[in-house]
Amino acid sequence: MKAVICEAFGGPEVLALRELPDPPPPGPGEVQVRIEARGVQYVDVLMLAGKYQFRPEPPFIPGSEGAGEVVAVGPRVTGFKPGDRVMSRHRLGGFAQLGNAKAEDCDLIPSAMNLEEAAVFRNVYHTAYHALLQRGRLKAGDWVLIHGAAGGIGLPAIQIAKLYGAKVIATASTEEKRAVCLEEGADHAIDYQAGFRDKVMELTGGRGVDIVYDPVNGPAFEESLRCLAWGGRILILGFLGGAPALARTNYLLIKGIEAIGVRIGGLSEAHPEIAAANIKTLVELAGQGKLKPRIWRRFPLEAAADAIKALIDRKVIGKAVLVG
């Protein structure tokens, strides 16, 4: 099989396409998938640099999400058979043409979705769903401020927030990105680079937002706290803006604010039954056409380095996909 290998820690330049032996047959509880499409995530950037909390030593095959066809099932697997179209989650190995995954990390693809959409669906939509509905306790009528809204976990958050009746203010860095946010359903889209609190307070009639969905963090974190209404929640999903910020705890105290961490892998480990129910709901919604990933660009597998570079350069709107 062909696979993209990380040969040393670094940037996109450390990736190389290689011919490798096929993986072994799937073990108990595993499914082997002929992977035809793969999502590219910021976690891949961190893993290549050796900066992710899970730190495999090179050489390794990156990639944690994909979609394709089941070619074999291991012992004790029910619900899947060769020929099924599935979306799959992998700890490593997604940037390959064949991969083994736990059966519980696979889901049948609804007929309304193509393989490329399915490849990028599971992780980001589950993150947004868990963050907003379970950690953020979103309810109809809430105001939600979504940072990095044109990115891989931003656009799903817009779709889910609107589906459940929220009013959405999206932040993004360019006119093109803000236009996409509005296309995806955001009520307002603003430029965060010149400061955003005054505009947020104006749009909410001076009240502030109920939830800040924040995969960016960094220098804008304090301004985000100042956008919250009394009893608001700030959801911390990552640190795309640089080093983690230190919370001004006086803001939390005075306005009754909750700062809430969100890590979808932690939910899957601690409460697999909740994670499974979430995915089932999301796949049903996708099958009904209510959730739909936005594919920015398709790259051939051998151009994985170009896809990673586009992500680092913040050119990607929605998701980039590796095919082949």
Mean of the pLDDT values across residues 4-28? 97
CA distances to 129, 183, 299 from 138, rounded to whole Å, are 10, 22, 36
What token pair was written down for 318?
A: 């929605």
| Residue 248 confidence (pLDDT) | 76
| H or E stretch covering 280 | helix 272-287
Q: What's residue 239's pLDDT?
A: 75
pLDDT at 244: 66
Give the whole-number percent of the chain exceeding pLDDT 70.
98
pLDDT score for 294 = 97
The amino acid that residue 316 corresponds to is V
Per-residue model confidence (pLDDT) at position 217: 85
128 secondary structure, DSSP code: H
DSSP labels, 210-225: EEEEES--GGGHHHHH
Q: How confident is the model at residue 194 (pLDDT cuts 50, 70, 90)?
A: confident
Q: What is the pLDDT of residues 238-259, one digit of tens each?
A: 877 666 667 778 889 999 999 9
Residue 226 scores a pLDDT above 80? yes
**DSSP-derived secondary structure letter, 316:** -
What was the pLDDT predicted at 105? Answer: 93
3-state secondary structure string across 14-83: HEEEEECCCCCCCCCCEEEEEEEEEECCHHHHHHHCCCCCCCCCCCECCCCEEEEEEEEECCCCCCCCCC
Is the pLDDT confidence value at 201 over 80? yes
> What would the two tokens of residue 195 be?
């400061």
The pLDDT, as a whole number, for residue 54 is 86
pLDDT score of 183 more than 90: yes
N-terminal to C-terminal alpha carbon distance within the chain: 11
CA-CA distance, 5 to 57, in Å (whole number)?
Answer: 12
The mean pLDDT of 123-146, rounded to a whole number, is: 98
pLDDT tens digit sequence for 104-129 = 999 999 999 999 999 999 999 999 99
8 A C-beta contact, residue 282 and residue 125: yes
The helix/strand count (H/E) of the chain reads as 11, 15
Q: Please state, in angstroms and rounded to a whole number, the distance separating the CA atoms of residues 67 and 48.
A: 22
281 three-class SS: helix
Q: Which two tokens stand for residue 156?
A: 């799903």
Complete DSSP assignment for 261-278: E--HHHHHHH-HHHHHHH
Tokens read off for 285: 């919604």
pLDDT at 130 over 90: yes
Q: Tell me what pLDDT residue 242 has.
A: 63
Query: For the chain, what is the mean pLDDT?
Result: 95
- The three-class DSSP label of residue 152 is coil
3-state secondary structure 234-263: EEECCCCCCCCCCCCHHHHHHHCCEEEECC
Q: Are 6 and 58 in contact (CB under 8 A)?
A: yes
Which domains are delineated in the chain?
2-121+293-323 (3.90.180.10), 125-265 (3.40.50.720)
Please report the sign of the dihedral spanned by the C-alpha atoms of residue 222, residue 203, residue 193, residue 165.
positive
Amino acid in the structure at residue 197: R
Q: What is the pLDDT of residue 250?
A: 85
What's the average model confidence in pLDDT over 15-19? 97
Stretch 54-80: mean pLDDT, rounded?
Answer: 96
pLDDT for 243: 64
